[in-house]
Amino acid sequence: METRRGARMVIDPKVRQVGFVTPGSELGRPAAPEPPGAAAPVPVVANSPSPVIIPLLLIPDTSSLRTTPLPVPSPPSRRVVAAPPADDSMPLGSYNPSDAILGSSQGSSERTGNNDKHGSAPTDSLADMSLSNASTLAIRLEGLNVTNDGISNVLSTSTVRSAVAAAPTSVEHAFQTSSGQGIIGSVPAVSVDMAAAANPQADPRPMPLKDRTSKAERRAIQEAQRAAKAAAKGVGTDIAAIADGNVANEVKSSKPSSQKKGLSEKKPAVFSDKKPVVSSDKKPVVSSDKKSAEKASEKDKRKDIPAPRMQFDDEQRVAKAKRRSLIEQTEAKNRVELFRHLPQFLHGTQLPSLESKFFHEDPLHPHPSVFQVGLQYLTREIVGGNARCIAMLMAFRDMINDYSTPMEKTLVRDLTAKINSHVSFLITCRPISISMGNAIKFLKTRIASLPVTVSEFEAKHSLILEIDRFIQEKIVFADNEIVKHAVTKIRDGDVLLTHGSSCVVEMILVRAFELGKKFQVVVIDSRPRLEGKGLLRRLLGKGLHCTYTHINAASYAMQGVTRVFLGAASVLSNGTVYSRVGTACVAMVAHALGVPVMICCETYKFHERVQLDSICSNELGDPDALVEVHGRKDVYSLRGWADSKHLHVLNLMYDATPADYVSMIITELGMVPPTSVPVILREYRKVPYVM
């Protein structure tokens, strides 16, 4: 990111902030090497010959003037030393003001003083983790050798076991969290490396409760910009092209992500001499044009393809979703600007409401199995892509087993709707992974393709068979095949490195060990979940020779490593590997040192999407997990951070590894280069995933 931005700076300093910049950081964002003294921003900006003419309806007012400092580059030192006046942040605040409504709704008051309660949670979580791993592994392993009826027992047995096992820990944990929910609450925010966090000016006060510029307004602005661009063609320089191109692109996407929204609004600030920021003070001006624009936007909305994902900075949608949602959850307060489009709820707020509803006799109530799985997701009792997917499918299997079509309804439609509601329930527990999405898609396709004439019993039976087959073929057998392929790449004397805890990689290592290959394993782990510990424990139990280190030491540990094996949550069609956070770092280090990086991933986790960064789609973990250091009660410098307006803690769950760093992807279909992911998607999704 840094280099990318740097490159842009070279092209033109004015474009530099188009990238992923948190509004807070923008203030102090160091850019072109201008002397600190050059901070007198207004004249500079006024002189800059922006080709984009100001749309007439956006008359620059004081707020625009206030924003003008933005484009002026300042050296890094200035960020710390010379903090801009507090009101500078105002226009930035308008960036996404409406979110503050949700953000400040509640939970802020309880947060104080509760922090200590949370202390024990991480301690438990490790125990939980191992438990969960054991139980999930049990699910997987049992799945290995069972047939249809065997599988049906898998979940029941394993869940019983996990329930029993988890009773002392997780339930307790649950209560604990429920009592201390306020603190566990996630108010994720910009991590320290996002320079903004350090800048006290980033967010001097909570977002003011003002109307955020609606879609229509933004559209109006963009329309105007486009017109301006058309007028200014010919004169237009590269910047214009780039800038407007960006704007246009964003307009096209029916539901721009928050970041995009931010961009399109920020852009005026970037080219600030012409395009004033649309902040609330300007609202009347815009609203004059609102009606017509709204009409147009309505039309466009229908025309455009539906948004792929829920964007959590879309106020209306969030409200709608909230109404439908079974779980009451509280949005986090100090949300990270860059990740506003992702759900950021206070962790722990969901559990009590769920628990209270457990014995409800509500027709809309989720099936007990699904409910249970949801709870297990919530408490992180089931983690790992395969385990989560299998658990979900088994729960749906139970649900289908108990399903009976209501009067005057058809099975196909009603069951699909039912699955949809269950899925949205699961999403509220924890955002579903891409692999689960694929599995759901598969199931829905199967339901939709049921012949109308088939009886309910037969339909249910065939669906259950399909689910079993999916688990067997796509997960269990696939893993076996991957292990077979991967083992051929392990030679005697190898030093293998892995990151986190991937069940496939574990199977590979164990299998290679069983085959008598002589090799060493380096387990790289990362905070806060320290999943590598579980892997390490199991490997050591098998008698493997292991080295354990944290990701900070990756570049050192990489020396002497001959192969890197990594798991993946998903592989996207441009070869990008979407995986547990830290994977990209490990892959990059390996690439730099010329160590081949092998990604082990079942093809059911492949996805057609293209993703270039880890921002547009990700999952945010509990920020408190970063604050607490396991086993170090004396480290408490960040306690009570939630009350600080200036600190955002960001706990990302996934990251995207560019295909350049990946030597090969090991799938059940063989070893393929990352460039072949679209081929596999094309060749294999034809049959099972016909929509």
Partner 1 sequence: MKSEEEISRRRGEVSGAVTYEWLTQAEAARFHKDPDNFKPLRASSLVGQQQQRLSDEREGLFSVIDEFNLWRSKPELAEAVAAIKALTAVIQRSEATTMMGLEIDLKKASEALKAWDETSISLSAGCDLFMRYVTRTSALEYEDIVAGKARLIERGEKFGEISLKARQTIALLGKDFVQDGSTILTHGCSRVVLALLKLAASNGKHFHVICTEGRPKNSGVEMANQLLSAKIPVSLIIDSAIAYTMEKVDMVLVGADGVVESGGIINMIGTYQAALVAHSMSKPVYVAAESYKFARMYPLDQRDLPLAPCYVHFPGALPESVIAEVSTRDYTPPKYLTLLFTDLGVLTPSAVSDELIQLYL
Please pick, from the candidates 226, 671, 688, 689, the single residue that binds partner 1 as defined by CB under 8 A.
671
Minimum distance between the CB of residue 506 and partner 1, rounded to whole angstroms?
21
Identify the H or E element spanning 524: strand 519-525
Minimum distance between the CB of residue 524 and partner 1, rounded to whole angstroms?
20
How many residues line the site for partner 1 (CB under 8 A)?
A: 18
Minimum distance between the CB of residue 669 and partner 1, rounded to whole angstroms?
5
CA angle 177, 182, 186 (to 5 degrees): 90
Minimum distance between the CB of residue 655 and partner 1, rounded to whole angstroms?
24
Distance separating alpha carbons of residues 174 and 378, to the nearest angstrom: 10
Residues 477-516 as x/- pattern, contact with partner 1 by CB under 8 A: ------------x-x-------------------------
Minimum distance between the CB of residue 676 and partner 1, rounded to whole angstroms?
4
Residue nearer to partner 1 on the CB measure, 4 or 491: 491
Region label for 348, one of left (φ > 0), alpha (ψ between -120 and 50) or beta (otherwise): left
3: Cα separation from own chain's centroid? 23
3-state secondary structure of 493: coil
Please pick, from the candidates 425, 649, 669, 685, the single residue that binds partner 1 as defined by CB under 8 A.
669
* Contact between 119 and partner 1 per CB under 8 A: no
Residue nearer to partner 1 on the CB measure, 221 or 497: 497
Tell me the torsion sign for CA atoms 228, 263, 571, 387.
negative
Residue nearer to partner 1 on the CB measure, 427 or 666: 666
Segment contacting partner 1 by CB under 8 A, of 115-123, 472-480, 585-593, 663-671: 663-671
Minimum distance between the CB of residue 596 and partner 1, rounded to whole angstroms?
4
| Residue closest to 158 by CA, chosen among 390, 380, 366, 351 | 390
Segment contacting partner 1 by CB under 8 A, of 92-100, 181-189, 346-354, 668-676: 668-676
| Residue closest to 286 by CA, chosen among 93, 68, 59, 90 | 59
Minimum distance between the CB of residue 562 and partner 1, rounded to whole angstroms?
9
3-state secondary structure of 366: coil
Residue nearer to partner 1 on the CB measure, 146 or 671: 671
* Contact between 413 and partner 1 per CB under 8 A: no
CA distances from 562 to 36, 552, 589 (A): 47, 19, 13
Please pick, from the candidates 670, 687, 689, 690, the single residue that binds partner 1 as defined by CB under 8 A.
670
Residue nearer to partner 1 on the CB measure, 460 or 474: 474
* Contact between 676 and partner 1 per CB under 8 A: yes
Minimum distance between the CB of residue 272 and partner 1, rounded to whole angstroms?
43
* Contact between 118 and partner 1 per CB under 8 A: no
- Phi first, then psi: give them for residue 589, nearest 5 degrees: -65, -45
Segment contacting partner 1 by CB under 8 A, of 154-162, 201-209, 398-406, 662-670: 662-670
Residue nearer to partner 1 on the CB measure, 336 or 662: 662
Residue nearer to partner 1 on the CB measure, 307 or 672: 672
With DSSP H G I counted as helix, E B as strand and the rest as coil, what are the percentages for the chain, rounded to 5? 55, 10, 35
Torsion of the alpha carbons at 656, 658, 663 and 667, rounded to the nearest 10 = 50
Minimum distance between the CB of residue 640 and partner 1, rounded to whole angstroms?
50
* Contact between 11 and partner 1 per CB under 8 A: no
Residues 614-653 as x/- pattern, contact with partner 1 by CB under 8 A: ----------------------------------------
Please pick, from the candidates 136, 259, 264, 663, the single residue that binds partner 1 as defined by CB under 8 A.
663
Residue nearer to partner 1 on the CB measure, 228 or 669: 669
Start-to-end C-alpha separation, the chain: 37
Residue nearer to partner 1 on the CB measure, 299 or 491: 491
Please pick, from the candidates 423, 591, 680, 685, the single residue that binds partner 1 as defined by CB under 8 A.
680
Residue nearer to partner 1 on the CB measure, 368 or 596: 596
- The residues, ordered by sequence, that sit 6+ positions from 607 with a Cβ below 8 Å of its Cβ are 434, 437, 438, 570, 571, 572, 573, 578, 681
558: Cα separation from own chain's centroid? 28
Beta bridge partners of 185: 346
Residue nearer to partner 1 on the CB measure, 222 or 676: 676
Segment contacting partner 1 by CB under 8 A, of 42-50, 61-69, 223-231, 672-680: 672-680
* Residues 552-581 interacting with partner 1 (rule: CB under 8 A): 563
Minimum distance between the CB of residue 515 and partner 1, rounded to whole angstroms?
17
Minimum distance between the CB of residue 398 and partner 1, rounded to whole angstroms?
34
Distance separating alpha carbons of residues 46 and 60, to the nearest angstrom: 12
Distance separating alpha carbons of residues 591 and 146, to the nearest angstrom: 40
Minimum distance between the CB of residue 337 and partner 1, rounded to whole angstroms?
37
Minimum distance between the CB of residue 686 and partner 1, rounded to whole angstroms?
12
Residue nearer to partner 1 on the CB measure, 416 or 480: 480
* Contact between 673 and partner 1 per CB under 8 A: yes
Residue nearer to partner 1 on the CB measure, 308 or 673: 673
- The residues, ordered by sequence, that sit 6+ positions from 360 with a Cβ below 8 Å of its Cβ are none
- The residues, ordered by sequence, that sit 6+ positions from 680 with a Cβ below 8 Å of its Cβ are 603, 606, 667, 669, 672
Angle, helices 503-514 vs 385-401, to 10°: value is: 110
Other Cβ atoms closer than 10 A to 653: 19
Region label for 64, one of left (φ > 0), alpha (ψ between -120 and 50) or beta (otherwise): alpha
- The residues, ordered by sequence, that sit 6+ positions from 470 with a Cβ below 8 Å of its Cβ are 393, 439, 442, 443, 604
Distance separating alpha carbons of residues 488 and 497, to the nearest angstrom: 16
Minimum distance between the CB of residue 266 and partner 1, rounded to whole angstroms?
37
* Residues 588-607 interacting with partner 1 (rule: CB under 8 A): 596, 598
DSSP 211: P
Minimum distance between the CB of residue 431 and partner 1, rounded to whole angstroms?
31
Minimum distance between the CB of residue 677 and partner 1, rounded to whole angstroms?
10
Residue nearer to partner 1 on the CB measure, 491 or 545: 491
Distance separating alpha carbons of residues 345 and 493, to the nearest angstrom: 47
514 within 8 A of 581, measured Cβ to Cβ: no
Residues that bind partner 1 (CB under 8 A): 489, 491, 563, 596, 598, 663-664, 669-673, 675-676, 679-680, 683-684
